[in-house]
């Protein structure tokens, strides 16, 4: 399928039961779906299960998808629900996994210990947040969903999304301040 065909046409093709369209959708958004599932589940294999179940749900739900906003928001909503279901089945909720927290990616040979320490504090501060807060941050800053779309995925009011973002930011600022940093230090 040519890449210029937009997401809605891909969904329409899935609704017509074109298997190649489901592969195309996964090619476009599989990484982001997997990342969101992993953020909730903390386990690569479980996250893959969640994405697989989500793709099946997309196949089943595509015929009734009628301009319900952006396709990515719909996909992440499905992934979110499937991941929460899996998490409930497992009954153990894992925090952000260090394996997933890749080592610094914007650093280079010039990166010094002070910078490393700064980023360690940021990562630790994010890891201290609740799953709900981390998912909210993930949807807005990583997945690029609008506040309204993020609220739709999480099943909460937009105000809750805003307050979670502010709480996360305040928590980060306090963590940095405790270690003698402030947010402008690396700007």
* Smallest gap from residue 162 Cβ to another protein (A): 7
* Smallest gap from residue 101 Cβ to another protein (A): 5
Question: 74: Cβ–Cβ under 8 A, 6 or more apart, which residues?
Answer: 65, 68
Question: 43: Cβ–Cβ under 8 A, 6 or more apart, which residues?
Answer: 94, 97
Q: How far apart are CA 114 and CA 27, in angstroms?
A: 39
Sites for another protein among residues 84-143 (CB under 8 A): 84-85, 87-89, 91, 93, 96, 100-102, 104-106, 119, 122-123, 125-127, 131-132, 135, 137-138, 140-142
Distance of CA 3 to the CA centre of its chain: 24
Under the binding rule (CB under 8 A), the answer on residue 151 touching another protein is no
Sites for another protein among residues 4-43 (CB under 8 A): 19, 22-23, 25-27, 30-35, 38-39
Q: How far apart are CA 39 and CA 41, in angstroms?
A: 6
Q: Which of 71, 75, 79, 176 binds another protein (CB under 8 A)?
A: 176
* Smallest gap from residue 8 Cβ to another protein (A): 19
**Choices 5-13, 67-75, 108-116, 164-172; region in contact with another protein by CB under 8 A:** 164-172
Output the CA–CA distances (angstroms, integers) from residue 56 to 3, 38, 53, in the order listed: 22, 18, 5
């Amino acid at each position: 399928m040519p890449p210029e065909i937009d997401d809605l046409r891909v969904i329409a093709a899935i609704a017509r039961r074109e298997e190649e369209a489901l592969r195309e959708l996964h090619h476009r958004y599989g990484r982001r779906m997997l990342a969101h599932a992993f953020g909730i589940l903390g386990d690569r294999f479980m996250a893959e299960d969640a994405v697989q179940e989500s793709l099946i749900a997309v196949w089943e739900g595509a015929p009734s998808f009628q301009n319900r906003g952006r396709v990515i928001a719909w996909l992440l909503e499905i992934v979110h629900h499937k991941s929460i279901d899996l998490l409930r089945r497992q009954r153990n909720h894992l925090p952000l996994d260090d394996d997933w927290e890749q080592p610094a990616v914007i650093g280079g040979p010039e990166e010094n210990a002070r910078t490393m320490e700064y980023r360690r504090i940021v990562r630790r501060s994010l890891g201290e947040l609740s799953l709900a807060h981390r998912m909210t941050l993930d949807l807005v800053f990583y997945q690029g969903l609008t506040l309204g779309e993020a609220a739709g995925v999480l099943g909460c009011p937009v105000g809750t999304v805003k307050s979670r973002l502010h709480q996360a930011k305040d928590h980060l600022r306090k963590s940095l301040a405790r270690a003698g940093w402030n947010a402008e230090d690396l700007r």
